A and B are shown apart, each in its own frame.
Chain A
């Protein structure tokens, strides 16, 4: 018995050693594509379809914030990923630092299916580095059984009535950004007076906050853990889902305006599999696939055919496709350059002080 066990162990070890360098699949010639995406930001069945259609093996990892993705990509260098899906300001920063490879969009069959509205935006003027994936807003998700007043302003997050009943985002840019917005400043402000004021505000708010969260906020809001939460629009829709969500939840983009964001697919400059990466990006733009993803994660799609096929009530749903009025008041994050260090320190002072 003992001998059999040790024999098995040795076999396992040898097999393992052989597969050590590459991937776990036996054929070393299978191309491997490493994709790094936000948590809960894809219908994972899509990956299986891609693997089946192309024979490319996909390794799929997720991150929680743009900053953690950036740091991981930066520290890991060449051994990191092929495709990443960051947001606007981070795409600019990564492109400026030479971390991203140029994408020849003319080689993407389905690129024309992306609406021109979402192309050539400020963060990537000629779409040299990115292909739009999803877009959305940041807003307040609230539980109507606890909040009975109309929610129109970010200031409700400072209302003592909701002490220990508020979830804030544990995300530097988002949380400081909405505070700046509430104060009437740009959410890209690097003016120290503005930031000091925002810091004071966030400090005031701290005793009211139940927790600074990331993806887990969805579960918590569905189960009714808190009255108010700052969330991304798609997550809000997931939480409000009539089948497995909570029907008492509502989402609103406050009147002061908010953050309008775009996430787009990029290829890392060090990627050894640029061809496979292009295939993946093209695949993700395909109508059936983009529709699967949209149905699964509920974010707003830049893909024309998917949008057209949506039922009218979704197309006009102010949560998923907000009015131009709201969009006009909202801003896109800009890369802050050196000032981001001040933001980081400020955020540590808020959460850890």
Chain B
């Protein structure tokens, strides 16, 4: 007993650190969102939240809806593109697939701002892709500075976050289960829908979480590719803290963003638990 208490004290520095640098900042944000500095110290107020949820001037709610929409669409596209890739990858022989999965992670080591910038060079009206299309006599794509461009940027940046968790689950699926399905007369389609896909769901849920979360909170991608008129909630928060200087409102939006994350995380978590509680095969 004493031994373990002594070991437990090793967590003390972290405990202190977490208290000051993880918990306290969040409490401060909550505080600033609910209190404003009047002439006589701090007073409670809901004005920041009311400003956000102002139905006569729904601009902030519009931004919220846009953020969620962009993130959802990006996530769905990542899933549609990413799942087959993860599946192909998982079917390669182990030596090859290690190298290939490594190649998926590699681009993430190049600064994402630079990669996004490079896409600007590629996608512009006068950019590389359009000059290529033009020389082939094809009509140009005018995607820069649209919501589509922001979604494109999200898909590009977060696709590996979708592929890798699914891939990690797929390679762990017991081969004999798949073979058994085949032996029992299931064709590929059936084996996939009835056995492989259900088994890969934990990977899919964590892929969705890992794609949706950064996509709903990003502020840089929308700024660079969206041309200032496809703002997401992250852009508004950045604006409050960096340009307008209204901490109260910025904090309130941060709190709202945190709530969204909590809800999504809770939802995905419970979904995952349901699945495993249902005890699919394994």
Which residues on A are within 8 Å of B, measured CB to CB? 65, 67-68, 70-72, 74-75, 164, 170, 206, 209-213, 220, 223-226, 344, 348-349, 351-353
How far, in Å, is B67 (CB) from chain A's closest CB? 10
The chain B residue sitting closest to A340, CB to CB, is B244
Q: Which of B59, B126, B235, B239 contacts A225 (CB 8 A)?
A: B126
Among B18-26, B77-85, B225-233, B274-282, the stretch that binds chain A is B225-233
Residues A353 and B62 in contact in the complex (CB < 8 Å), given A210-B227, A225-B125, A225-B126: yes
The chain B residue sitting closest to A226, CB to CB, is B125
Asked if B4 is an interface residue, CB under 8 A from chain A, the answer is: no
A-B contact pairs, 8 of them (CB 8 A): A67-B243, A70-B245, A75-B241, A211-B145, A213-B227, A349-B59, A352-B59, A352-B63
Chain A neighbourhood of B241, CB < 8 A:
71, 75
Chain A neighbourhood of B183, CB < 8 A:
none
Cα separation A226 to B125 with both chains bound (whole Å): 9
How far, in Å, is A320 (CB) from chain B's closest CB? 28
Asked if B164 is an interface residue, CB under 8 A from chain A, the answer is: no
Chain B neighbourhood of A70, CB < 8 A:
245
In the complex, are the beta carbons of A348 and B126 less than 8 A apart?
no
In the complex, are the beta carbons of A71 and B244 less than 8 A apart?
yes
Interface string of B216-232 (1 = CB under 8 A from A): 00000000000111010
In the complex, are the beta carbons of B242 and A212 less than 8 A apart?
no
The chain B residue sitting closest to A206, CB to CB, is B229
Chain A neighbourhood of B229, CB < 8 A:
206, 209, 211-212, 351-352
Cα separation A351 to B245 with both chains bound (whole Å): 18
In the complex, are the beta carbons of A223 and B124 less than 8 A apart?
yes
Cα separation A302 to B125 with both chains bound (whole Å): 39
How far, in Å, is A344 (CB) from chain B's closest CB? 5
How far, in Å, is B216 (CB) from chain A's closest CB? 16
Chain A neighbourhood of B126, CB < 8 A:
223-225
Q: Which of A75, A212, A349 contacts B245 (CB 8 A)?
A: A75
In the complex, are the beta carbons of A352 and B244 less than 8 A apart?
no
Asked if B45 is an interface residue, CB under 8 A from chain A, the answer is: no
In the complex, are the beta carbons of B145 and A352 less than 8 A apart?
no
Cα separation A351 to B230 with both chains bound (whole Å): 8
User: How many inter-chain contacts with C-beta < 8 Å in the A-B complex?
Assistant: 61
Chain B neighbourhood of A67, CB < 8 A:
243-244
Cα separation A231 to B207 with both chains bound (whole Å): 43
Chain A neighbourhood of B239, CB < 8 A:
348
The chain A residue sitting closest to B231, CB to CB, is A352
In the complex, are the beta carbons of B228 and A212 less than 8 A apart?
yes
Cα separation A72 to B227 with both chains bound (whole Å): 23
The chain B residue sitting closest to A167, CB to CB, is B227
The chain B residue sitting closest to A211, CB to CB, is B227
Q: Which of A224, A226, A344 contacts B244 (CB 8 A)?
A: A344
Asked if B68 is an interface residue, CB under 8 A from chain A, the answer is: no
In the complex, are the beta carbons of A349 and B231 less than 8 A apart?
no
The chain A residue sitting closest to B66, CB to CB, is A352
Chain A neighbourhood of B125, CB < 8 A:
225-226
The chain B residue sitting closest to A168, CB to CB, is B228
The chain A residue sitting closest to B228, CB to CB, is A212
Chain B neighbourhood of A349, CB < 8 A:
57, 59
In the complex, are the beta carbons of A211 and B228 less than 8 A apart?
yes
Which B residues between 102 and 132 are near A, CB-CB below 8 angstroms?
Answer: 124-126
Q: Which of A68, A210, A225 contacts B242 (CB 8 A)?
A: A68
In the complex, are the beta carbons of B145 and A351 less than 8 A apart?
no
Asked if B199 is an interface residue, CB under 8 A from chain A, the answer is: no
Asked if B98 is an interface residue, CB under 8 A from chain A, the answer is: no
Q: Which of A71, A212, A344, A353 contacts B227 (CB 8 A)?
A: A212
How far, in Å, is B47 (CB) from chain A's closest CB? 13
Apart from A209-B229, A351-B228, A352-B236, 8 more pairs, CB < 8 Å: A71-B242, A71-B244, A71-B245, A210-B144, A211-B229, A352-B231, A352-B235, A353-B59
Cα separation A72 to B245 with both chains bound (whole Å): 8
